Amino acid sequence: MRILTFTSLYPNIIEPRHGIFSKNRMIHFDQIEGTCRKVIAPVQYFPLLGLNHKSRFHKYNQIPKEDRQGEIDIYYPRYMTIPGTNLINVADAMANASHKVMGKIYPNGETFDLIDGLYIYPDGVAAYKLAKKYNKPLILTALGSDVNFWLDQPQHKERILEAINYASKVTCVSQALKDSLIQHGIAEDKLLVLLNGIDKKIFNADVKPKVQNEYLLAIGNLIPLKGHEYILKSLKEFPEERLILIGVGELEAHLKALAKQLGISHRVIFLSHVSQDELGHYYAGAKYTIMMSSMEGMPNVIMESLATGTPVITTNVGGIAEVVTKDNGILLTERTSDALTNALKTALTRKWDRQQISESMNYLDWNETARKLHSCFKSAL
């Protein structure tokens, strides 16, 4: 079974945690006998902005054109974008850039059996164009905003539905995403809920804290969708509490300036990249993991925190309510700093059973996820 994974959400040497869930899912799949895999992870570029050292495009330029992670070959073809405009169709640009390197990826008459496309738009639509061009089956995976945002954009919806119609199956990382796709007219038998797993060797109740003093923890890209500003504003109301914020992104300077403006800079630690192996220690030392996202599918941050025994305080978006209960966290009814402040006041007075919280996630297993994914691929073939 020769699989071509297609997604822009895949780690690289510059952003080792970018799309780490995609890699983790497939690492376990790669261990199944009779499988082999290659990865296309398109990278955007814009020539002029690439010269600016402060631009994200300069960082993207540092990503190698190809790499090897373990036994898997990864290719990072460049596709051009013009930021802030719709002058270039991103899905078409991704597909065209990838097609140009196919001869290098599969030389001497080699080929693949199936395309595994993660994130329905634009990645999944680009994967569909390649699958159709090479007359191969396609499996798509819905992750969150690809359904919750992009399917609500009239200019993109028709092409997304066309890709879904071609696909043999669409896996969804939460029941909420499946329900949303059904509301968009997708047949239920085309959809499969396939939860991401948890590496219990890394995330469990016996993990020792990285930092001895307890703190609040937030993990996620520093972008508007994640809502880190609500956490900073709420932290001002708790002068005894500290926050560790792990992530990188366009709002880094803004969030650091906000922390300074609020007079809490000395109580906020910004960390960029933390390896997956080290992440469990940060969860273990936290009183709570906080997530203030405006939209999600099924965030691994929530599941990893709970598997480590750390309760969560989070917005009730996407499929989060499928795993967060009154026994392991607090679901916010509003996405505001006031709502978070009230939840923290309640949470800080409560005694949580961390062992029980950890055990409640035992049903999540990457090996089981990989087995089900393999079965899905086999059916498509």
Q: Which of 280, 165, 271 is nearest to 228 (CA)?
A: 271
CB 312 within 8 A of CB 353: no
Cα 337 to chain centroid, rounded? 24
Do residues 126 and 115 make contact, with C-beta atoms less than 8 angstroms apart?
no
d(CA 20, CA 166): 27
* Sequential DSSP letters for 66-130: EEEETTEEEE--EEE--TT--SS-HHHHHHHHHHHTHHHHS-TT---SEEEEESIIIIIHHHHHH
User: Distance between CA 268 and CA 290 in Å, rounded?
Assistant: 14
Domain ranges of the chain: 2-197+365-380, 215-359
| The token pair that represents 274 in the structure block | 């933390």
Q: CB within 8 A of 285, min separation 6: which ones?
A: 209, 210, 211, 212, 213, 214, 215, 217
What is d(CA 309, CA 22) in angstroms, rounded to the nearest whole number? 23
Q: How many CA atoms lie within 13 Å of 70's alpha carbon, on the beta-carbon side?
A: 13
pLDDT of amino acid 18? 85
| Fold type of domain 2-197+365-380 | Rossmann fold (3.40.50)
The predicted pLDDT at position 15 comes to 85
Query: 232, exposed or middle or buried, with CB in 10 Å at 0-12, 13-18, 19+?
Result: buried
Q: What is the DSSP letter of 207?
A: P
**Which neighbouring-strand residues pair with 245?**
218, 270
Helix axes 228-235, 337-347, angle to 10 degrees: 60
Give the mean pLDDT per block of 10 residues along the chain (381 residues).
96 87 91 96 80 69 91 94 80 95 92 96 97 97 90 91 97 95 96 93 91 87 95 97 93 96 97 90 96 94 96 96 96 96 95 95 92 96 94
CB atoms within 10 A of CB 271: 12
Longest dimension (CA), the chain: 66
Geometric angle at alpha carbon 71, from 66 and 76, rounded to 5°: 20
46: which residues sit within 8 A by CB, 6+ positions away?
57, 80, 81, 82, 83
Q: Structure pTM?
A: 0.89
User: In angstroms, rounded to a whole number, what is the distance separating the alpha carbons of residues 56 and 206?
Assistant: 38
pLDDT computed for residue 247 by the predictor: 92
Can you tell me the distance from the alpha carbon of 381 to that of 376, in angstroms, rounded to the nearest whole number? 9
**Equal CATH topology for 2-197+365-380 and 215-359:** yes
Closest C-alpha among 56, 74, 52, 54 to residue 65: 74
* The CA-based dihedral angle spanning residues 301, 304, 309, 310, taken in that order and rounded to the nearest 10 degrees: -10
Query: Is-contact 329 306, C-beta < 8 A?
Result: yes
Cα separation, 260 vs 147, in Å, equals 36
Quickly name the fold that domain 215-359 has: Rossmann fold (3.40.50)
CA–chain centroid gap for 75, Å, is: 19
